[in-house]
Structure 1
Amino acid sequence: MKKLIVLSLLILASCSNKKEIKQVAEISCGQCQLHLDSEEGCSLAVRFDDKAYFVDGFGINDFGDAHDENIGFCNAIRKAEITGVVENGRFFASDIKLME
């Protein structure tokens, strides 16, 4: 009986895992371009399904100078293929590949 209970709990726990997202999204500065205001300063964010999320796992300068006039995230919204999960209103990225 104990084995059955443990097995049931393991199955339930595995079903509650967040589903990983892999899709093309907009990526930019959350404050400067995506109009998020829950953090101070410039921070990386993504937008998909008409909702923007701050990113954990990557920084805003990981893809070059965020304040570059032409392609910096504080001055432009770019496209990227993103992989990760949404949890507690944030996007936890495991991979980001810029498309441009």
Structure 2
Amino acid sequence: MSIQVNRLTDPTVRAFVTAVNSHDQAAFRAAVTPDVTMSDDGSDRDVTEWTDREIFSSHGHMDVESESDGGRVLVVTYRNDTWGEMRTKWRFTVDDGKVSRFETGQA
């Protein structure tokens, strides 16, 4: 059972997930700070390179299973054309209404 994106608690995280699922790079950039950082399975990555490869060019999609920590931590069934489907955990740091860091990895 997944949570509808429009029902996610945190509006900034909701904007991030909406941008990912619609493959809208402009909306994604609007949802994150200019100096956003991220990690994947504990290793820091280049956000632009990673999001292009893992989200935008490979049709990434987040089906949210659960949320915690006020909507800043999500357990997601994530799928893209490269890796197929996997259960992942996403943790978001939000500053002034934008995501300043996100961390993802296998759940």
Fold similarity call, TM over 0.5: no
Between structures 1 and 2, the one with greater helix share: 2
Between structures 1 and 2, the one with greater strand share: 2
Instruction: Give TM-score, length-normalised by structure 1.
Output: 0.33
Question: Looking at CA atoms only, which structure, 1 or 2, has the larger radius of gyration?
Answer: 1
Instruction: Give TM-score, length-normalised by structure 2.
Output: 0.32
